[in-house]
Amino acid sequence: MLAARSSGMLRAACRRVAKAAAPLQARWSAAMSSATEGRVTPRSEDYSAWYHDVLREAQLVDSSPVRGCFVLMPRGMALWDRFKADLDERIADTGVVNASFPLLIPLSFLSREADHVEGFAKECALVTHTRLHTAEGGGVEADPDSALQEPFVIRPTSETVIWDSFRKWISTSADLPVLVNQWANVLRWERRTRPFLRTSEFHWQEGHTAHATREEALARAQRMQVVYGDVVRSCMAVPVLMGEKTPSERFAGAEATLTIEAMMQDGWALQSGTSHFLGTAFSDAFGVKYSDAEGESRPVWATSWGVSTRLLGAAIMSHSDDVGFVAPPAVAAHQVEVLAVGKGEALQAATAAGRALVQALRRGGVRATMDTDAKSLSGPGGEAASGGASARGKLSLGKRRFASERRGTPLRVEIGRRELEQGWARITPRVALDREACELAASELYELSGDVRVAPKHRWTMSDVASGKRRSMAAHGGVLAAKNQEAGEGEAPEMNIVLPGTAGKEGPEHFQMAPAMAFAALEAVHATLLMRRERQLKERTVPVASYDALKAHAAALARTDGEGASAAALTGPAFLVAPWKDCADNERLVKEETSLTIRCLNAGAQGPGPEDRCILSGEPATHLAVFARAY
């Protein structure tokens, strides 16, 4: 039995929250049940509707009967699973081990750290009873005889319950550091929800560490911020700014919060991950001390850090277009879709060749599928439930291409009579490739092939790097480099793939060539997506010298639900960098007057100059602040 509080005051508060959130929830439900035959609203017409349409058409998420909680559909869950696998390895590489802690936290635990409880008090859901019984008027209700003596909080985050365990695990310096990570779902009763970007329930990882010294803890927090920036870049093809939050934006109970901030296509910021230096607040609250070599009792220093399914929203909103979803290759449910075309015996032959290509790609580590199998929401090894060639015959080739694009699959390969005769087929990327990005991707593949110790830049090459298959990596780079040379000046290369078992391509080397060709194309797509977003971040991050200039830029970014993103919002200044003297009152004033918030301080470790003065107070600046509208 869940309740926000048993008091009438909190019940009234919950009703107000539900009333405020109802329009957004209704909007999402309407979007999911829309019968507009797959129309995706243009970004310039209604940006919020565009985002919802992209999610619906790609079948990433569905509504649920619980306000603010959404269903991750198989294709959406595949994105999270791929990202999770990569990040889990990176976290383990820093010496952290996985653990699991209870979903339910005693209510009294939250009150032990005053700042922490204040930060989460309005978002907590409580378990107050242990069973139901039949109500007099029918249905069921909480059995009053089962009321808990102390309610439990459904975890909004796990610092308190984890530090209760640390209290039992730590006694001497030999027990430190303690480095644990947990993959879990959490619940925060959000007022305004939007799929992936802000939801009441979400999936995440939360790392928690205990250290003997302040310096060790601070170094850990900084290290995890870098890990997050790297994984978002390499998995999601999203560049970020890295900096520190202002005191008023810190995590509840933290001494410092480090953040990574991504810029969406409309210029708004999305906080994509945080790493917190917690000082000794939690060790003090839970009585955690350790004895040093001299037997002296010392405080334990703490960090916590986490990223969530919000990163899926970052990728979706960063790369998708007015056609629909664009999946980053590293996390795409399927990286290649194969379409067999033709009629009668020609279609049967094309289907057989397509399935042979799919199997060759899968053996080489590429997530490939026939397009009808992708439509069925089956896994990478599944087959279409609705029936092969006969099912394909119901849709025109144009509609099948369109459906593949809506699913966001990075690469599409079409096989017909001509492709069977020549023994190769053209690879069609979901996005137009950038020549400069393709050249960069080729050089990076060679770099990876030259040193197996280098940290992998892309998930789909990790197994090659880890096992030392340098020849395979060099082959990927060689394919892409050769294609770059074939292309005209300034043109992106045309990518092709061999069809094993056709037109004299029966040898085992052809089954090895197909994955190399696909990997090269995937590298090119990833590099293109990343370069686009890097260019946007660089061009739209601008300095401002006065408060009036800040307000003028803020007006161009303004937008409410139901409005499209203006040309200025899609192309103009978005991240506004200004000299700033830290002051909570002035920060609040800027937010009230412009709707801008400080996303981070001293991004990229760049601080103010000796002559810089705060744009609002005129006093000597203590930081360079990045202002932006934010989700």
Q: What's the CATH code, domain 2-319?
A: 3.30.930.10
What pLDDT shows up at residue 475? 52
Contact predicate 327/47, CB 8 Å: no
- Report DSSP letters for 121-189, one per residue: GGG--EEEES-EEE-TTSSEEE-GGGEEEEEEEEPS--HHHHHHHHHHH-SBGGG--EEEEEEEEEE--
* Half-sphere exposure at residue 84, Cβ-oriented, CA atoms within 13 angstroms: 18
DSSP 8-state assignment for residue 620: B
Structure tokens at 226: 């870098």
Flag whether pLDDT at 304 surpasses 70. Answer: yes
Q: For the chain, what is the radius of gyration of the CA atoms?
A: 27
What would the pLDDT profile of 533-586 be if each residue is shown by its tens digit? 999 999 999 999 999 999 999 988 887 666 677 777 788 899 999 999 999 999
Residue ranges, comma separated, of all CATH 3.30.930.10 domains in the chain are 2-319
Mean of all residue pLDDT scores within the chain? 85
Q: Under CATH, to which class is 541-628 assigned?
A: alpha beta
Helices (H) and strands (E) in the chain, counts: 21, 26
Q: How many CB atoms lie within 10 A of CB 49?
A: 22
Peptide bond into 177 cis (omega under 30): yes
The mean-pLDDT minimum among 307-316, 388-397, 496-505, 596-605 falls in 388-397
For residue 382, is pLDDT > 70? no
**Residue that is written with structure tokens 């480095």 in the block:** 179
Q: What is the CATH number of domain 336-535?
A: 3.40.50.800
| 322: its two tokens | 């007015």
Query: Is 50 exceeded by the pLDDT of residue 6?
Result: no
β-strand 411-415 against 336-340: which pairing, if any? parallel
The pLDDT assigned to 478 comes to 56
Does the pLDDT at position 25 exceed 70?
A: no
Instruction: Find the helix packing angle between 47-58 and 397-407, rounded to 10°.
Output: 110
- 513 φ/ψ angles, rounded to the nearest 5 degrees: -70, -35
Give the pLDDT confidence of 498-520 residue by residue, as tens digits.
898 887 777 677 777 888 889 88
Task: Please determine, for residue 306, whether its predicted confidence score (pLDDT) is greater than 60.
Answer: yes
Name which of 186, 187, 194, 196 is nearest 60 in CA terms. Answer: 196
β partners of residue 243: 259
> Which is more confidently placed, 5 or 322?
322
Query: In whole angstroms, how far apart are CA 186 and each of 9, 106, 148, 225, 597?
Result: 25, 15, 22, 21, 26
What is the C-alpha separation between 42 and 50, in angstroms, rounded? 6
465 burial level (CB within 10 Å; 0-12, 13-18, 19+): buried
**Number of Cβ within a 10 Å radius of residue 261:** 22
Record the pTM.
0.87
As annotated, the residues of the chain forming the CATH 3.40.50.800 domain(s) are: 336-535
Which sign does the torsion angle of CA 314, 320, 324, 326 carry? negative
In angstroms, the Cα distances linking 342 to 239, 272, 496 are 42, 45, 20
156 and 218 in contact (C-beta within 8 Å)? Answer: no
Cis amide bond preceding 23, omega within 30? no
Q: Are strands 495-498 and 336-340 parallel, antiparallel or unpaired?
A: unpaired
For helices 584-594 and 547-557, angle between their N-to-C axes, nearest 10 degrees: 40
For residue 413, the SS3 value is strand
Quote the tokens at residue 498.
């061999």
Identify the weakest region by mean pLDDT among 300-314, 331-345, 417-431, 495-509: 495-509
- Residue with token string 């080397």: 509
Taking 60 as the threshold, does the pLDDT of residue 384 lie above it? no
- Tokens 């000299």, located at residue: 579
500: closest CA among 517, 524, 523, 519? 517
In the three-class reduction of DSSP (H, G, I as helix; E, B as strand; rest coil), residue 617 is classed as coil
SS3 291: strand
Domain with CATH 3.30.110.30 in the chain: 541-628
pLDDT at 44 over 80: yes
Tell me, what's the pLDDT at 312? 98
Report whether pLDDT(187) > 70: yes
Q: Which amino acid would we find at residue 357?
A: L
464 confidence band (pLDDT: 50, 70, 90): very low
State the Cα–Cα distance between residues 480 and 445, nearest whole angstrom.
9
The rounded distance, in Å, linking the Cα atoms of 562 and 194 is 14
